[in-house]
A and B are shown apart, each in its own frame.
Chain A
Amino acid sequence: MADILIVDDDDDLGDTLALVLAGLGHDVRVARDGHEGLRALGDRAFPDVVILDIEMPVLDGPGMAIQMFIQNTGRERIPVILISGYVDLRVTAERVGTPYFAPKPCSLDTLLDLLSRALRERTPPSPRAPIESAARDAEFQSPNRERE
């Protein structure tokens, strides 16, 4: 039904989310960080919504959101759902200017609820003050990258 882009550095979570949403009939793509996410946006037609994690290496959630916003290519109109364990999630959501956010771990119901709201309302993010990047590249290595 909808075209969804998931951006999260946790491979297992990204894949599981994709599995669940695909099972519900959506078209799902997964990116591992903000940089990959931006590339994915350029690949084909824009997704209907982006499910975005906050703390990721290379380029974090808010970083990607601001990049989407800067270039006047239509990307700035894509609604963003922030799903994160980041302590200041609410503050970050306000800064990015998106009304769709939930702390990890959130239930499937919560996620689906946010998804339907976002697809219905289509409220795009509207960043206010300069967004302080939460990515601490050197310190944050995604645990999944160290696969056995």
Chain B
Amino acid sequence: MRSDLRFLIAAICVMLAGAVASLAVLARSSHALSVAHQAIADNAAPTVVALDNAQARLRELHLLLLERHVGTIGHDAAGRASIAATRRDLDRSIDAYMALPVDPGEVPLQRAVRESLSEVNLVVDRSLATAPGTAASEAAMRRDLDTAMARLGLDLARASEFSAHLAKTAVAGVVGVSTTMLPLVAVIEAMTFLAAGATLALTYRAVRRAEALWAKSHAALDRRAAELELFAARVAHDLLSPLMTVSLSLELAGRRLTEPEDASVRQAVKRGTRTLNRVRRFVSDLLEFARAGAAPTPGSRARVEDAVRDIADELGPIAQDAGVELCVEPERAGHLREVACSPGVLTSALSNLVQNAIKYIGEGDVRRVSIRTADRPGEVRVEVEDTGPGVPEADRDRLFEPYARGRDAKAPGLGLGLATVRRLVESHGGHVGVEAADGRGSVFWFSLPTAA
């Protein structure tokens, strides 16, 4: 189990590391791509376009000058205008080229272009300025023009080639990064997958183990509860009947001992009967305590109103015999509710509290036990208030433990009553407690969830 947990943590760490590594690889590739894109889009491509443009203008110019020479275009203003326009366009496109970002390797190429351009401009100016002369001078002029223009064309082509090469290098760089990263990414992904698989398997195993454990413990609890139920039932059957037999026999004997000389025997029988009553109460308390741990019957419900009335009826005479006033406070919402337990459980809990209150009422002037109920969200709270001596705060928790006895330890009983109430109530999802009453006395209370 321990090692499973370690493996699980390790697997999750690997997955996280894989995620981080993937991100790093992605960032790296992205950066490389961005750099390459910049190189191409901002430099190489526009450069090639501008140079391409310049080359086209150059060829136009060359053609125009040729036509002029041949006579197709006149030496007039129109002819000059078109030549001037073409020269301007050429200048512009080369300016555009010059304006773009310059790679260090480009510097000599740019210089060459500038020089060639000046040369071309010189030659063209001369050609335009010179009037048509001899055939030889014309031919020489044309040769000069061709040479200058060819040089400029070549320089422009070289510069263009250089930029194209730049672009190619940038692309190759990106491909290079991808190629080296790819196996790395493959490894990272594979590791992450494996780690995820391991995490899944380990988690599944852990959950299954937990489920099995829970089921086992639940089954054990159920078994225990069932055994207790059976035990209590057997005890009830096997103890209570014999108790009654003994009690009846004693009573019978007692009734027959009418002669004066039987006085001491009669006393003995009386004592025996009293003792038997004590035993009967003990057995009853024990049985009730044992049964209190029983699992609640699902779907059971009990009306609070009925339980309160039954207890008031049943214990009224007992309270009266003890000189205690037993009263039920006026109906409130709590009375009308149903709680999620069997009527026997509710009655038993309330009965225990009321009997406890009567037993420990003490010797005050006011001897009153009041039953009241209150509606709370999702639960009903039942309170039994007495005007007894009260319970010191230090003792309050201990009271609900089995075999706890109050201050007045002379009062008979095993001390199971309150423990029984706690067991009953808590096994049905409720709570118990005791508080000091306003003034003298205590308020013992329990709450039970309302029935659905």
Query: Closest A-chain residue to B248, C-beta based?
Result: A16
B-binding segment of A32-40, A42-50, A66-74, A99-107: A99-107
Interface check A131, CB cutoff 8 A: no
- Give the size of the chain B interface in residues (CB under 8 angstroms): 25
Check if B237 sits within 8 Å of A91, measured CB to CB.
Answer: no
Choice from B232, B242, B344 contacting A13 with Cβ under 8 Å? B242
Contacting residues, chain B, for A143 (C-beta < 8 A): 238
Interface size range of chain A in the complex: 20 to 34
Contacting residues, chain B, for A20 (C-beta < 8 A): 248, 251-252
Contacting residues, chain B, for A10 (C-beta < 8 A): 241-242, 245
Main secondary structure of the interface of B (DSSP, over half): helix
Q: How far is the CA of A10 from the CA of B237 in the complex (A)?
A: 9
Query: Closest A-chain residue to B279, C-beta based?
Result: A105
225-272 of chain B: CB within 8 A of chain A: 230, 232-234, 236-245, 247-249, 251-252
Interface check A108, CB cutoff 8 A: yes
Interface check B335, CB cutoff 8 A: no
Choice from B230, B244, B251, B291 contacting A104 with Cβ under 8 Å? B244
Interface check A87, CB cutoff 8 A: yes
Q: How far is the CA of A143 from the CA of B245 in the complex (A)?
A: 14
Query: Closest A-chain residue to B344, C-beta based?
Result: A88
A52 to chain B, nearest CB (A): 13
**CB 8 Å contact bits of A79-117 with B (1 = contact, 0 = none):** 000010111101100000000000111111000000000
54-78 of chain A: CB within 8 A of chain B: 55
Interface check A119, CB cutoff 8 A: no
Interface check A130, CB cutoff 8 A: no
Q: How far is the CA of A22 from the CA of B429 in the complex (A)?
A: 51
Would A108 and B248 be within 8 Å (CB), given that A91-B343, A91-B344 are in contact? yes
Q: How far is the CA of A141 from the CA of B157 in the complex (A)?
A: 117
| B contacts, CB < 8 Å to A | 230, 232-234, 236-245, 247-249, 251-252, 276, 280, 287, 291, 343-344
| Pairs across A and B, CB under 8 Å, 9 listed | A12-B241, A20-B252, A53-B241, A85-B236, A86-B236, A87-B344, A105-B244, A105-B280, A107-B251
Shortest beta-carbon contacts, A-B, top 4: A85-B240, A105-B244, A10-B241, A104-B240
